[in-house]
Amino acid sequence: MLKRTSLFGEHQKLGARLVDFGGWELPVQYAGIIDEHLNCRMNAGIFDVSHMGEIHVQGADSGSYLDFLVSNDVKNMSVGQAIYSVMCNLNGGAVDDLVIYRRAFDRFLVVVNASNTEKDFNHMVTVYNEYQYQWGDLQVTNESARYSQIAIQGPKSRSILSKITETALEKVKTYWFSEGVVLNNIPAIFARTGYTGEDGFEIYIDWNSGPEVWRALMEAGQTDGLRPCGLGARDTLRLEMKYPLYGNELTDETLPLEAGLGWVVKLNKADFIGRDRILEASQRGLNRKLIGFKLLEKGIPRHGYLIYNEEGTQRIGEVTSGSQSPSLNRAIGIGYVDIDSSKIGTKLTIEIRHNKYSAEVVATPFYKRPYAIS
Provide the binding-site residues for another protein, judged by CB under 8 A: 17, 28-29, 32-34, 232, 236, 298-300, 302, 323-324, 326, 331, 353
Cβ closest to another protein, residue 328 vs residue 373: 328
What is the spatial distance between Cα 5 and Cα 12, in angstroms, rounded to a whole number?
A: 12
* Residue 35 CB, nearest approach to another protein (Å): 8
* Residue 29 CB, nearest approach to another protein (Å): 6
* Residue 307 CB, nearest approach to another protein (Å): 18
What is the spatial distance between Cα 26 and Cα 215, in angstroms, rounded to a whole number?
A: 17
Cβ closest to another protein, residue 19 vs residue 279: 19
Cβ closest to another protein, residue 269 vs residue 303: 303
* Residue 34 CB, nearest approach to another protein (Å): 5
What is the spatial distance between Cα 232 and Cα 274, in angstroms, rounded to a whole number?
A: 33
Residue 28's SS3 state is strand
Is residue 365 reached through a cis peptide bond, with omega within 30 degrees of 0 on the bond before it? yes
DSSP result, 207-265: GGGHHHHHHHHHHHTGGGTEEE--HHHHHHHHHHTT---BTTTB-TT--TTTTT-GGG-
What is the spatial distance between Cα 292 and Cα 366, in angstroms, rounded to a whole number?
A: 8
Q: What length is written for the chain?
A: 374
Q: How many CB atoms lie within 10 A of CB 311?
A: 9
Give residue 200's Cα distance to chain centre: 13
Cβ closest to another protein, residue 17 vs residue 343: 17
Cβ closest to another protein, residue 284 vs residue 353: 353
Cβ closest to another protein, residue 96 vs residue 249: 249
* Residue 252 CB, nearest approach to another protein (Å): 26
* Residue 296 CB, nearest approach to another protein (Å): 15
Q: What is the dihedral of CA 263, 265, 267, 269, to 10 degrees?
A: 100
Q: How many CB atoms lie within 10 A of CB 153?
A: 26
